[in-house]
Structure 1
């Protein structure tokens, strides 16, 4: 069980880091670049990104990291006396709530609204850009915080201890 937990911690930390990096790119320059090309072109590009990402390798990473993080949170409750349990619980909850639930409740509905509006509505694009980017900042911070929590749990547990070679 120790080897499984350690492996899940590594998978989750790396997955959170990859997702945090992608979200960071969107928050810091991609959305700004899309806005600079005008609402019709920006909306068209974002709609293309949103439809393309659904069939990409991002989706297994997105769902796999979410499942691993949730499992770690549950395992932490059952292994509360073990080193790193609090960091595992924190990482799992931060990621599932701050990234996954935020995505489902805020970003996906905004994506769906943008897709329905097409490229003709400057008003929808302006609202989308502001709201989507705000919630993406939340996802970025949550993903990064979860990654740090999982790395802290790895460190407290002894790094690669328990991982078969």
Structure 2
């Protein structure tokens, strides 16, 4: 029974990390570039609309559920270290929680909050928007790589089992 639960969590995390990696990849490769090209006020308004909408979508249950399951798998790997796939399970969980969840909460969300508080037409917003496009996107690249790596590691753990 426990083996089935672990396998189910591995599949959930592999798919969840993959879905989020794809979302972050889209932002890193073209969405942020497009928002930077449409003008400051429009770009800020669009990003604020995205940030408001995303927390009211299926993104949040997948974001939180994958994070919780990844943390649980990392702990399980430590407790069941001698089992096949434990190293990949631990690495996937740690990389995902640190590289995606912690980066999001400590770096991306505060940038989103600062952007939401800004007057899009102000001179201050111009500086904020330029910094946002650079900094938020850099940390989004980190989330993309972490989510992709975690997905691959969870798939490796499944294969090893």
For structure 1, the 5+ residue unaligned runs are: 158-165
State the shift of 1:118 in Å. Answer: 3.2
Runs (4+) off by over 4 Å? none
Match status 1:74 vs 2:78 = no
Number of aligned pairs?
Answer: 157
In the other structure, the counterpart of 1:33 is: 34
Deviation at residue 30 of structure 1 after TM alignment? 0.2
User: What corresponds to 1:145 in structure 2?
Assistant: 149
Map of 1:110 onto structure 2: 111
The correspondence of residues 43-54 of structure 1 with structure 2, limited to 5 A, is 43-54=44-55
Match of 1:133 in 2: 137
| Secondary structure at the counterpart of residue 55 of structure 1 | coil
| Distance across 2 between alignment mates of 1:118 and 1:24 | 28
DSSP-derived class of the 1:107 partner: helix
TM-score when normalising by structure 2: 0.97
Q: CA separation in 2, counterparts of 1:91 and 1:85?
A: 10
Tell me the distance in 1 between the aligned counterparts of 2:14 and 2:87.
15
Given that 1:9 and 1:150 are in contact with CA atoms closer than 8 Å, whether structure 2 keeps it comes out as yes
Unaligned runs of 5+ in 2: none
What is the Cα deviation at residue 97 of structure 1? Answer: 0.2
- Counterpart CA distance in 2 for 1:33 and 1:119 is 17
Distance across 1 between alignment mates of 2:142 and 2:12? 22
Is the 8 Å Cα contact of residues 44 and 118 (structure 1) preserved in structure 2?
Answer: no
Asked whether the equivalents of residues 43 and 118 of structure 1 are also in contact (C-alpha less than 8 Å), the reply is no
The verdict on how the C-alpha distance between 1:42 and 1:127 changes in structure 2, with shifts beyond 3 A counting, is same
What does residue 83 of structure 1 align with?
84
Aligned counterparts of 1:28 and 1:39: Cα–Cα separation in 2: 19
Distance 2:62 2:145 in 1: 18
Distance (whole Å) between structure 2 residues aligned to residue 114 and residue 10 of structure 1: 36
Residues 17-72 of structure 1 show CA distances to partners (whole Å, capped at 9, x for unaligned) of 00000000000000000011011100000000001111111000000000010000
